[in-house]
Each structure stands twice: as C-alpha cells, then as structure tokens.
Amino acid sequence: MTGKFCQQLVLNLFFLQILTFGASACSGKETNSRKELSGFGQPIQVMFVRHGQTHANKYGITQGLLNSLLTEKGKLQAQKLGQHISNETFTRVYTSNLTRTRQTADIILKNLENASSCGPIIEDLRVREKGLGVLEGMKRTVHKISSPNIKNLARSSAETKKNLQKRVRSFFDEICGLADVEDKSSQRENILVVTHGIWLGQLIKYVKSDKFKLVNFRNPKGYSRNTGVTRMEVYPVSKKLPHHSRIIDFLSIYDVSHL
C-alpha cells in the first residue's frame, strides 16, 4: 500500500472510532473521542440559543421579520437558561436586529455571575430570521388552507433559500475563523449567539457539509424549541484532515433541559 493510502486509512479508522465511542450529545461527559481530539488544537466554544417564546409564538402567528416581543413565559425561559449557565463568561455576544433576540440575551446575561465581564452585545443582520413575506402576521392555520395564488405570492415575497444560506454560511465561517487565531495570551473564545428557529435549522444543514468533521452529532427533528441550546466546540483548521477541514464537537443540540 502507498503511504498516501495508509494515511487516509488511519484517518478513516480514527473517525470511525470517534463515531463508535461518542457519547450522547447532551451527556456532558468526556468521551474517548474527546480525549483523542486533543491533538487537533485548542477549540473555541459557541452556544447558539433560540429566543424565548413571543406573543406570535403563543398565538400561532407567523413571525419571520415581524418584531414580536417576549411573553412572560418567554422571559422566564430566558431567565431559567441564564440561571442554568450562571457561571459562564462570554467573550462575544451576538443577536439579530429583532427585539426578541435582544430581550432574550439581556435576560440571560442579567442572570450570569460575571455578566459585567462579558463582551458587549453585537447586533448582526446575518443571524436574523428568514423573511417570510406576506405570511408574516398571519395565523399558521390559515397557510394550510390558503389558495394557490396566496401560496405563490408567499413564495415570491419571502427571502430566498439561497440568500438565507449565504447569511448563515458567512456568519458561521467568520465565527469558525476565530478558532484559527494563534494567540495563546488571549482568553479562550466562548461565544453566545441568540438567533431564530429557521436560521438554526439552516445552520444544522450547513455543518453537515464536507467542510466539517462532526463529533457527537445527532440529527435533530424539527425546529429548536424556545431557548433551545445548541452548543459546540469548534477546532482550528487541520492539515491532518482531508481538504484541511475542521472538527466540530457537539455538546448539545436543541437542548431544553434548563426548562
């Protein structure tokens, strides 16, 4: 066998071992696979959170870019999450420009022990929800019985899938790039991103592309519940991997154990 073939065989066996021995996404326990990952550099940690329940969520109204505020339940959900992760210190905090994500982030940070040490909240249009056009403000039950003309108008007025994918990829690639910064004197990045349900679904689709090697990943069903947590460790780009891709180790996916 050639040296190149042997090297590829070793890599394949390594990732087979990771998939075989990986623990469940929400266990929080160190696994054999995570011990093996120590040779791939120092990862950064990223926590994606869907916003708390809004009035539109409560009454079954399509949101998209509709600026619906949190209900009391939504505020409590964010509070419970903040209390659940109260010992965290986030180096960067991102929200969309929609109020429901900013409200959620504010409440989470308010419940952290080291809130004053967290980075400032940055509004980024790339993490806002998909625009749903004329459907925004309509009851979801109405969509199902709408005439073909209404459905065609909805498709033509909504944000395109291509544009949503572009936003998701641009933002996530930028965040991943922070793992490649070789500054041992700086604090390890721990990033909080408060975003939206459809956006998170598109992120899950993106990470399954050939650009990433996934560890402890399970394919979620449907959309994240309000304040669902998707947490991951993102490793630097590695020359040890085919196509110089990077490893993403999932610590949780759509987790709502804090509720």
Provide the residue type at 84 as one letter.
H
Q: For residues 56-81, b (16+ Cβ closer than 10 Å) or e, as one string?
A: bbeeebbbbbbebebbeebbbbbbbb
Task: Tell me 229's DSSP state.
Answer: E
Task: Tell me 186's DSSP state.
Answer: S
Task: Report the side by side order of strands in the sheet with 44-50.
Answer: 121-123, 92-95, 190-195, 44-50, 229-234, 246-255, 212-215
If you average pLDDT over every residue of the chain, what do you get? 86
- Ranges 119-128, 138-147, 201-210, 217-226: which has the least confidence: 138-147
Give the residue from 96, 157, 146, 144 showing the smallest Cα distance to 122: 96
Confidence at residue 19, expressed as pLDDT on a 0 to 100 scale: 43
pTM: 0.85
Q: Which residue has the higher pLDDT, 203 or 37?
A: 203
Q: Any idea which residues carry the catalytic annotation?
A: 51, 129
Q: Which residue has the higher pLDDT, 2 or 109?
A: 109
Q: Which residue has the higher pLDDT, 139 or 25?
A: 139
Cα–Cα distance, 49 to 45 (Å, whole number): 13
How confident is residue 20, by pLDDT bands cut at 50, 70 and 90? very low
Report strand pairing: 92-95 vs 190-195: parallel
